Structure 1
Amino acid sequence: MLWFLIIGIIAGWLAGNVMKGGGFGLIGDLIIGVAGSFIGGYLFSLLGISTYGTIGEIAMATFGAIILLWLIRIF
């Protein structure tokens, strides 16, 4: 559980930097990263992409968090 939260924080922070946003703080980045990991996992499974290891998990969660931030900024 703790590892999942750490990956969520890292993914949220990376997504905030990629999207050139100011970030949402530690809690906001955690929420964006954790939600992004679910979105990324769903999208990767639809595309048939498998990830392995910590780097793969962070990449998948970051991809999902970027999609989530993009959707948030549209609305």
Structure 2
Amino acid sequence: MEDFLIHDISDVLSSGEYDLACHLLSRIADVLNDEVASTYDSWDNLVDEFFEQVDVLSASIHLDADRMNDLYSRMDVINDLL
């Protein structure tokens, strides 16, 4: 999953597919919230990379505030687990 976050999400963002990137990051947040914390030693690395990709997405002006707020609320849940 870390390679996906590092390379594939970056490619999606570079191609201008911001809605797809938001959708994928939201699904990844669900996985991080529900399963990864208890099953992977590299959870912290995944969370760091996830946050970095959300920051890249938030720097774009292509998504409406509601979509980004939904993604940020998922980040809050992850932060609570830290």
TM-score under structure 2 normalisation?
0.33
Pick the structure with greater CA Rg.
2
